[in-house]
Structure 1
Amino acid sequence: MTSAPPTSDHPLTPLDLPGDGDWLAWVSARCEGQLAEATRLVEGLKGGGSATEVLGGWNRAATAIANASSVSMWAEVHPDAAVRDRADALDQDVQRFVTELGLDRELYAVLAGLDATEVESLDADARRVLDHALRDFRRAGVDRDDATRDRLRELSETAVRLSQDFGRTIRDDVRTVRLAPERLAGLPDDYREAHPPGDDGLVGLTTDYPDLVPFMTFGSDAEARRELALAQTNVGWPANDAVLQELFAVRRETASLLGHDSWADYDTEVKMVGSGAAVAEFIDRISALAADRAAAEKQVLLERKRLDDPGAEEVLGHDSRYYSELVRREQYDVDGQVVRTYFPFEQVRQGLLDVTGRLFGLTWTPVAPAAAGAWHEDVATYDVGLDGRRIGRIHLDLHPREGKYKHAAQFDVVSGVAGVQLPEGALVCNFSRGLMEHDEVVTLFHEFGHLVHHVLGGQGAWVGFSGVATEWDFVEAPSQMLEEWAWDADVLATFARNAAGETIPAELVEAMRRADAFGKGVNAAQQMSYAARSYWFHTEQRDDLTAFGDELQRRYSVFPPLEGAHMHCSFGHLDGYSSGYYTYMWSLVIAKDLFSAFDPGDLFAPEVALRYRDRVLAMGGRKDAADLVADFLGRPYSFDAWAAWLEE
């Protein structure tokens, strides 16, 4: 029996964005129209039918829901506050619809009651769609009593509102530190020129990344670094402290009503790690593996700090970036201010497109602003081509502005469905318009990896498997692996050039790689500190989140907490990743294993690159992540490559 939804060979067109038009009306019409379509399709499904008919209808309804759900992006990126507010309100409507859908016993009965013989004859993808749908219904509480289902509805609506409040506060709470010009000692000339004194004779530095990152890397004024670090770690304080306490309580009660001991147990049920206890074990395992190296690296930082401050007895987290830069400059002959001259933003953006195009056989064709209809003049839009046909569209929104999402992420604009709609995604970052630090280049490669995954994985028939639809503790692995191309001398030579047109020397790249090895242990320890907050905040109730976070910082990081800081209030991953921030390191373990299949001497070798493209990225969520990795590597994943990397 054929079970894939019908598709068409008719060329698909991207979403018609309004550009200079009425975004408020467009966002409302798009979301409300798709919700209405989903409602109509769901009601039609309740009449039953063959397995193929029901699953086809389910896929069409899920596609409409995915289209409506993308409204959340406009709350994060649109320059008009009225549009952002409207998108937030609409997102609540979408989440309310999704909650009701998950508790709809009549619809569940239709899917659960499909003829067993027909189901058995479905192909593997269709059976997986059905299995996931039934699983998600049960996880939503469809089989609970009426009172429990009513309470789950209330909790879901509350959780959506709290998540929006949490994110909005971080987005809008940009803090500024004002400093005398001489306190910018050590900063590059272009940074100083971009930050002239105001009428009061002082320079205003914000907590946005283009201000924050260079200052923490090169600023020699220790007290100024502390002031800026304190401002950044207090974004969202105190408002988000109460929001998080309420959000954690909602999640605990939800998990309990669904039969789990903790939110982490509920959350990990559908992840590679498998259980909450396994998360705690993973955090401790990584911490133990990194402990000796982290301690040794911290001692190096302390010894360097004592050259400036002979009485220093401690290195604090806000010192780490600055003294790591000095160690790399003095002991590894890598000067970050020289390195950044090879990475003008425009060159890096084009180089990224050229590298990924060559690697995956893709073309990136610029779309004129009038045709793209994007939401801001900064946005660059490209059509994605493969084998002579358009397979998707991407939007690059890479500079900060007021009211915009403050971190770096890929957002779905449209989930791809073969013959129905093209995958379309947006990359949202906050880079400067001038020279980039090399770690910002690495970040851009990383985030672009999500965008490539979204487009390549968006060519299948089932929207539930479209794009980055794998287990959540695998989604970072392909992006972390793409970072490797930002460290290769031959790759960087294709686009990294200074103002004189000189290509970045291979020996400098090699020195950068050696220097980057310094700090692996410290960074792993700090990542486990964040992962521990994410996990234990959802597992163990405490009245004082700041004190609990400081306790976990002391347990896992080599750096003590910054006095007066409340970093959990700006830790955005506590929303989307909830108890699962461990996934960054979990994914890195897998990423290092994936990368071991490539030839370091030729990272563009087509046989392995295209095998990876087709067996991992293009598969989306059609298989469990462990199976995707095994299909590519020819064996199960292991810790070996990561452990070897840590020791390099």
Structure 2
Amino acid sequence: MTTTPNVPLPASDWLAWADAYTREHIDAYRAAIDQLKDGSERSAAETIALLDAADLELRTASAPCFLVSEVHPDERVRDLLEERGRETVALSTAQAQDRELFAVLDAVDAGALESLAARVLERALREFRLAGVHLPDAERARVAEIEERLTQLDQDFSRVVRDDVRSIRVPASALDGLPDDYREAHAPDAEGLVTITTDYPDSVPLRTFSTDADARRALTVAYENRGWPENDRVLGEILDLRAALAALVGFTSWADRDTQRKMVGSAAGIEAFIERLRDAVSAPAASDYDELLDALRASDPAVEVVDASNAAFASELLRRERYAVDSQEARPYLHIDKVRQGLLDVTSRLFGLEYTAVDAPTWHEEVRVYDVSLTGEPLGRIHLDLHPREGKYKHAAMFDLRPGVSGGPLFEGALVCNFNRGPLEHDEVETLFHEFGHLVHGLVGSRQPYVALSGIETEWDFVEAPSQMLEEWAWDARVLRTFATDDAGEPIPTELVERMRRANGFGRAQWAARQLFYSAVSYFLHRDRPADRTAYIDALRPRYDVLRQLPDTHLQASFGHLTGYSSAYYTYLWSLVIAKDLFTAFDGDDLFAAGPAQRYRDLVLAPGGSKDAAELVEDFLGRPYAFDAFAAWLDSAAG
């Protein structure tokens, strides 16, 4: 195995590289699986080591498929890697249905293994059961067929969202209320009209600051109709196939099968969590809604409802009136270059990470590359791809480029975001800290001895907690002042940050209600599989979300988490409960204190998937996680 700190990305011929690199590791995976089944006598430890070597090769092949297919400017490269991605998923399914391989692993004496190897074996045997290794040949073949089709449909759904960039043309007056740099970047055309797209750097500022209600509404409708109607059909097939697959392998629903890998444990657990949160947020969220409506009516008495087209604008009005906070006030201190470097400095100071900028080939000239080490020992390499472009993934996420494992290859990953190239909104800074939390988790957790336990290989409803907790550092004045400076070098005023913090307290319940609505959409679409998904979502909304339905929109067609998180969008709120509890161990007066940060690094992040998430949290807190900190955060007054 190699310990070089980077995947050998090409300087030019990406098509040839993508073909050769993925084929090399797919072939090595096949060879390792064949070796496992060759009848040779091996110890239990040797068998698990060979299984993990095969797993490493398949993950090494698949990781660039799912990253580079979302970011490379060349459509031919994207198409090839989507095809190879489908191949790696098919190989994974075939492995989990391979009765000969199952017999080899089922015969391993778990008692002869050390604890981590036994955990790898336990997880592998679980995957055999979930894939239906016990089924008759025809039914196993049907499971494999469904898995292959689902991979194709997931890619189709993502591609449609990525490519469906819509736009509106509005008078220049629609930009009233927006920052100067935004207006300068959106000059009127020969007809005096301005084109605004649904990409984040265009749409978020206009929907937040424009005083033109018609423009905000038109852009929001365009944004919430991305992927319509094509992706509604794709989603319908996805939901039906997931239900069929779950039934084939012995589960009453997709969510019951999916939760076998999660902390919540069952579909009933998801429903119970959703309803518990609904009880907690309904009344305060309704109060938030009334305040938003009052703020809108103060400037326009004709406003009847708060919906997705005016909620951000109403929140901005309230922040200005009640807390003397204008979101644009912070922008001069939050230039992307300073924020990016500041984030590296903050996480270096917290966790002892060392970043070295490197001039290395990557998929686009704007991508920044850093090698990362901890106490002098290499951890891996990261790529920061932070700005929008045609054909690129439209949201913000962390992707693996290569898995890391102790004694073997180093972790390599990427942040893929869509931020402005100049000043940022503070919300974007918070998002960057959040996504970087995933990258830190992947790096620090990447040195486990088995790839199946290395990096972010924990329960999927825990993975957001480390990222959500890192957001806290984006709200601390002492932290922000280490990097948030204006053109004259003056740091962001502490008093401004305190006002921002107070203003951020408003609307928490309304925000939580909206997240709860998304969780309900994710779960109940899978449970009920309605024929008319738009009508179903419209009827579901009032039970969970206080914002009103925006007519003639189709949320489900661009709700990308319906592919990745499927029925488990509840994960964001579940993880937030844990994140708020984890944060209680830190000193609010000194977020740079080394003791808590390094304990957290060593006890929560570094173990990767070597322990259950609940055990990791208990190791750090000295007790099981609890709901109290989240409830206190939710109920805290804006001040």
Provide the TM-score with structure 1 as the length reference.
0.97
Q: Quick one: which amino acid aligns to residue 393 of structure 2?
A: Y
- Please name the residue that 1:123 is paired with: 114
Helix, strand or coil at the partner of 1:383: strand
- Please name the residue that 2:82 is paired with: 88
- Please name the residue that 1:60 is paired with: 53
Distance in structure 2 (CA, Å) of the matches to 1:278 and 1:113: 33
Q: Deviations over 1:386-441 (max 9, x none)?
A: 11132110000000000000000000001001121000000000000011000100
Query: Would you say 1:407 and 2:395 are equivalent positions?
Result: yes
- Please name the residue that 1:547 is paired with: 535
Q: Quick one: which amino acid aligns to residue 385 of structure 1?
A: S
- Please name the residue that 1:256 is paired with: 247
- Please name the residue that 1:51 is paired with: 44
- Please name the residue that 1:426 is paired with: 414
- How far apart are 1:475 and its partner, in Å? 0.3
Query: Would you say 1:76 and 2:64 are equivalent positions?
Result: no
Helix, strand or coil at the partner of 1:539: helix
Q: Bigger CA drift: 230-239 or 504-513? A: 504-513
- Please name the residue that 1:237 is paired with: 228
- Please name the residue that 1:301 is paired with: 292
Within the candidate set 362, 366, 370, 1:378 is matched to 366
- How far apart are 1:144 and its partner, in Å? 1.1
Distance in structure 2 (CA, Å) of the matches to 1:215 and 1:333: 21
Helix, strand or coil at the partner of 1:420: coil
Within the candidate set 160, 163, 167, 1:172 is matched to 163
Q: Quick one: which amino acid aligns to residue 142 of structure 1?
A: V
Distance in structure 2 (CA, Å) of the matches to 1:14 and 1:161: 29
Distance in structure 1 (CA, Å) of the matches to 2:35 and 2:252: 37
Q: Quick one: which amino acid aligns to residue 384 of structure 1?
A: V
Distance in structure 1 (CA, Å) of the matches to 2:328 and 2:488: 16
Q: Bigger CA drift: 199-208 or 80-89? A: 199-208
Q: Quick one: which amino acid aligns to residue 101 of structure 1?
A: Q
Q: Quick one: which amino acid aligns to residue 61 of structure 1?
A: A
Distance in structure 2 (CA, Å) of the matches to 1:404 and 1:67: 22
Helix, strand or coil at the partner of 2:447: coil
Q: Deviations over 1:581-601 (max 9, x none)?
A: 000000000000000000001
- Please name the residue that 1:525 is paired with: 513
Helix, strand or coil at the partner of 2:550: coil
Give % identity: 54
- Please name the residue that 1:16 is paired with: 8
Q: Deviations over 1:507-543 (max 9, x none)?
A: 1111111100101010000001100000001000211
- How far apart are 1:11 and its partner, in Å? 5.2
- How far apart are 1:120 and its partner, in Å? 1.3
Within the candidate set 612, 617, 625, 2:600 is matched to 612
Q: Quick one: which amino acid aligns to residue 366 of structure 1?
A: A
Instruction: Check whether the contact 1:287–1:524 (CA below 8 A) recurs between aligned residues.
Output: no
Within the candidate set 466, 469, 486, 1:481 is matched to 469
Distance in structure 2 (CA, Å) of the matches to 1:214 and 1:220: 11
Query: Would you say 1:152 and 2:182 are equivalent positions?
Result: no
- Please name the residue that 2:478 is paired with: 490
Query: Would you say 1:325 and 2:316 are equivalent positions?
Result: yes
Helix, strand or coil at the partner of 2:446: coil
Helix, strand or coil at the partner of 2:156: helix
Query: Would you say 1:110 and 2:110 are equivalent positions?
Result: no
Alignment RMSD: 1.0
Instruction: Check whether the contact 2:73–2:392 (CA below 8 A) recurs between aligned residues.
Output: yes
Distance in structure 2 (CA, Å) of the matches to 1:361 and 1:501: 26
Query: Would you say 1:352 and 2:343 are equivalent positions?
Result: yes
Instruction: Check whether the contact 1:294–1:525 (CA below 8 A) recurs between aligned residues.
Output: yes
Q: Deviations over 1:5-63 (max 9, x none)?
A: xxx8x8533211102x2101101111111110000000000125210111110010000
Instruction: Check whether the contact 1:269–1:275 (CA below 8 A) recurs between aligned residues.
Output: yes
Q: Deviations over 1:236-275 (max 9, x none)?
A: 0000000000000000000111111111111112210111
Instruction: Check whether the contact 1:188–1:337 (CA below 8 A) recurs between aligned residues.
Output: yes
Instruction: Check whether the contact 2:517–2:541 (CA below 8 A) recurs between aligned residues.
Output: yes
Helix, strand or coil at the partner of 1:363: strand
Q: Quick one: which amino acid aligns to residue 493 of structure 2?
A: P
Structure 2: unaligned runs, 5 residues or longer: none
- Please name the residue that 1:282 is paired with: 273
Q: What number of residue pairs does the alignment pair up?
A: 633
Q: Quick one: which amino acid aligns to residue 80 of structure 2?
A: R
Helix, strand or coil at the partner of 1:179: strand
Q: Quick one: which amino acid aligns to residue 95 of structure 2?
A: L
- How far apart are 1:558 and its partner, in Å? 0.4
Distance in structure 2 (CA, Å) of the matches to 1:466 and 1:446: 20
Q: Quick one: which amino acid aligns to residue 8 of structure 2?
A: D
Within the candidate set 615, 625, 629, 1:641 is matched to 629
Instruction: Check whether the contact 1:141–1:258 (CA below 8 A) recurs between aligned residues.
Output: yes
Distance in structure 2 (CA, Å) of the matches to 1:121 and 1:506: 58
- Please name the residue that 2:426 is paired with: 438
Distance in structure 1 (CA, Å) of the matches to 2:287 and 2:5: 56
Distance in structure 2 (CA, Å) of the matches to 1:318 and 1:627: 43
Q: Quick one: which amino acid aligns to residue 636 of structure 1?
A: P
- Please name the residue that 1:4 is paired with: none
Query: Would you say 1:584 and 2:576 are equivalent positions?
Result: no
4+ runs deviating over 6 angstroms? none
- Please name the residue that 1:628 is paired with: 616
Q: Deviations over 1:564-591 (max 9, x none)?
A: 1001100000000000000000000000
Helix, strand or coil at the partner of 2:460: coil
Distance in structure 1 (CA, Å) of the matches to 2:73 and 2:447: 31
Q: Quick one: which amino acid aligns to residue 83 of structure 1?
A: V
Helix, strand or coil at the partner of 1:24: helix
Q: Bigger CA drift: 432-441 or 494-503? A: 494-503
Q: Quick one: which amino acid aligns to residue 56 of structure 1?
A: A
Q: Quick one: which amino acid aligns to residue 247 of structure 1?
A: I
Helix, strand or coil at the partner of 2:285: helix
Instruction: Check whether the contact 1:45–1:54 (CA below 8 A) recurs between aligned residues.
Output: yes
Distance in structure 2 (CA, Å) of the matches to 1:414 and 1:198: 45
- Please name the residue that 1:5 is paired with: none
Helix, strand or coil at the partner of 1:391: strand
Instruction: Check whether the contact 2:335–2:422 (CA below 8 A) recurs between aligned residues.
Output: yes
Q: Quick one: which amino acid aligns to residue 194 of structure 2?
A: V
Instruction: Check whether the contact 2:3–2:410 (CA below 8 A) recurs between aligned residues.
Output: no
Q: Quick one: which amino acid aligns to residue 633 of structure 1?
A: L
Distance in structure 2 (CA, Å) of the matches to 1:330 and 1:41: 65
Q: Quick one: which amino acid aligns to residue 186 of structure 1?
A: G
Distance in structure 2 (CA, Å) of the matches to 1:11 and 1:305: 58
Q: Quick one: which amino acid aligns to residue 127 of structure 2?
A: D
Q: Quick one: which amino acid aligns to residue 165 of structure 1?
A: D
Helix, strand or coil at the partner of 2:310: helix
Helix, strand or coil at the partner of 1:426: strand
- How far apart are 1:311 and its partner, in Å? 3.3
- Please name the residue that 1:596 is paired with: 584
Distance in structure 2 (CA, Å) of the matches to 1:602 and 1:121: 47
Helix, strand or coil at the partner of 2:458: coil
Helix, strand or coil at the partner of 1:204: strand
Instruction: Check whether the contact 1:363–1:384 (CA below 8 A) recurs between aligned residues.
Output: yes
Helix, strand or coil at the partner of 1:457: helix
Instruction: Check whether the contact 1:12–1:419 (CA below 8 A) recurs between aligned residues.
Output: no
Instruction: Check whether the contact 2:369–2:381 (CA below 8 A) recurs between aligned residues.
Output: yes
- How far apart are 1:312 and its partner, in Å? 2.7
- Please name the residue that 2:454 is paired with: 466
Q: Quick one: which amino acid aligns to residue 151 of structure 1?
A: R
